[in-house]
């Protein structure tokens, strides 16, 4: 260390310690510099430098990938919070039908349905649908038992398709 550097170091250390300790610390640092300059460190070989650079590059790539994953998870979490909050808001502020609207909805169902206890027999349309479904169900059962003498695989498929169509008609009204 040169004379100017030693004086700057002494001034800097004097701000944190008393003057005598600052001079002593500056002298110790100067002696350490001289000792290190007398015994220089060995330079690493090319192979060692290449391995170190490879490890550093790999670590940087891993950190980059982790950072991207963290950002993706943070965005996904934020999106989930927004969706959950909006769903809750919609559910909380959902408009409930008034008693007169409920009465209007109930008036759509025929009065004969309200009189009986069995909706299948009281509503004609539902009764027809139930009868068709039971017929198809019986035919499927017979085909699965192989009552008609054939293997019945094609017929079972046809009946299942027909059952799905009838079920679809049922839910459409």
How do residues 80-99 score in pLDDT, each as one tens digit? Answer: 999 999 988 888 887 777 77
Query: Looking only at Cα atoms, what is the longest distance across the chain?
Result: 115
Q: 99 lies in a domain?
A: no
Residue 147 domain flag: yes
**Does 139 map to a domain?**
yes
Show the domain range for 135.
Answer: 110-172
pLDDT band at 4 (very low <50, low <70, confident <90, very high): low
Angle, alpha carbons 88-89-91 (nearest 5°): 65
Specify the pLDDT at position 171: 58
Q: How many domains does the chain have?
A: 2
Q: Is residue 49 part of a domain?
A: no
Residue 88 lies in a domain: no
Q: Is residue 30 part of a domain?
A: yes
**60 is a domain residue:** no
């Amino acid at each position: 260390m040169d004379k100017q550097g030693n004086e700057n170091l002494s001034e800097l250390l004097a701000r944190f310690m008393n003057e005598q300790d600052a001079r002593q610390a500056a002298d110790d640092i100067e002696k350490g510099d001289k000792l290190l300059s007398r015994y220089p460190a060995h330079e690493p070989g090319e192979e060692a430098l290449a391995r170190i650079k490879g490890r550093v590059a790999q670590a940087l790539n891993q950190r980059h990938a982790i950072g991207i994953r963290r950002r993706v998870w943070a965005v996904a979490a934020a999106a989930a919070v927004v969706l959950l909050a909006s769903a809750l808001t919609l559910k909380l502020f959902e408009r409930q039908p008034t008693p007169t609207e409920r009465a209007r909805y109930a008036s759509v169902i025929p009065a004969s349905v309200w009189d009986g206890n069995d909706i299948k027999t009281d509503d004609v349309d539902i009764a027809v649908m139930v009868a068709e479904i039971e017929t198809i169900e019986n035919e499927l059962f017979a085909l699965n038992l192989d009552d008609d003498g054939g293997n019945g695989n094609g017929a079972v498929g046809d009946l299942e398709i027909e059952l799905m169509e009838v079920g679809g008609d049922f839910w459409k009204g």
